[in-house]
Amino acid sequence: MPAININAFAVVIALVFGNTVVIAQSPTPAKRPSEKIEPASSKAAEQPTPALRKVERKELTATASSNGGEEYVLKYKFEPGLIIRSEVIHLAKTDTKIDTTGQNSNSRTVSQKSWKVIKNKNGEMTFEYRIDEIDMSQRIGAENEIRYSSKTKDEPARQFQTAADSVGKLISTVTIDEQGMILARSDDNNPPNLGMGDITLPVPATPVNIGATWEIPRELRIYRDDRTLKTVRFRELFRLDKVSAGVATITVRSEMLTSISEPKEEAQVLQQLSNGVIRFDIDAGRMISKELAWDKTVVGFSGDGSVMDYSARLDEQVVEAEMINTASKTATKANSTESR
């Protein structure tokens, strides 16, 4: 009777730009860094921009609703000196069974991330992305839970070492346009999608009405049985559901375009696709919350008698937006925006 390979469901510490440091259960082990913000300089607008590599701009396709009605302009409005602080909570659970052998694993991450805007040139906005703090825990089967918090001086477990080493360091400097499309970034490689999209919510260039939809193409690479790579294509579909007190509520769901019939390949994709709700402050020109969910089951990922159930939740909330300049310092709490 085959035993479950725990490493196949090891914790993933993944840097997903624009979302957070995430701990999740994954069928393919991996590890990525995470980080923290340092005190902002009052001369943010005067700081030189680090060398960035250009990123191919994705094409967004928008479709207006046939219902008509008022139209809304969604665009990003980042100004130098703006610091946006967010809290992200990610919970994940994986239950696996091979024949009569079962195993489960649970993980939890609470992180505080920060974006500091350093430049806005003709609508192209550049900001630095860091992680202030991170608190992580993991339990596999009947083993003792392991934990790490950047607030303590305790040595991190091996699973959390990369994240612990990165807290307080610059993760990436990113340039976006008014549609939230990434134009350039300082990191060497594009981060994994993990079902959470890019660092920003993409929005149409033209005004949209309630019920309007738009989509962005995505792709990822997975391993075949022979360890060669296979490119899998999908798209993210967005819909403007409502606008209330200047806040747009937008739903998002992922839709596969590449056919996948092998359970082993499906197991690698299960946490890449998600459904959720995003809220965008039209007046402030930025996202203020994101809620995503995963609930997937794969049968036969490791033979006929194997089953994998994966469920996860991600909740991201902006907790503070602060403008710092040489003359004054103004802080606006996220909940003041949400209560308008």
The tens digit of pLDDT for each residue in 211-243 reads 999 999 988 889 988 899 999 999 999 999 999
The tens digit of pLDDT for each residue in 139-194 reads 999 899 999 999 998 899 988 988 888 898 898 999 999 999 999 998 765 555 44
Q: Which two tokens stand for residue 78?
A: 């980042």
Sequence-separated (6 or more) residues with CB below 8 Å from residue 236: 197, 202, 215, 216, 218, 252, 253, 254, 255
In the chain, where are the structural domains located?
6-338
Q: Which two tokens stand for residue 280?
A: 């965008």
The SS3 call for residue 60 is coil
Nearest to 114 by CA among 328, 256, 340, 324: 324
Please list the alpha-helical segments (H only) found in 187-325: 263-269
> Is this prediction's pTM over 0.75?
yes
31-66 as b/e, with b when 16 or more CB fall inside 10 Å? bbbbbbbeebeeebbeeeeeebeebeeeebebebee
Q: Which CATH number fits domain 6-338: 2.30.230, 1.10.8, 2.40.50, 1.10.10?
A: 2.30.230
Q: Distance (Å, rounded) from C-alpha 335 to C-alpha 325?
A: 23
Cβ(202)–Cβ(213) below 8 Å: no
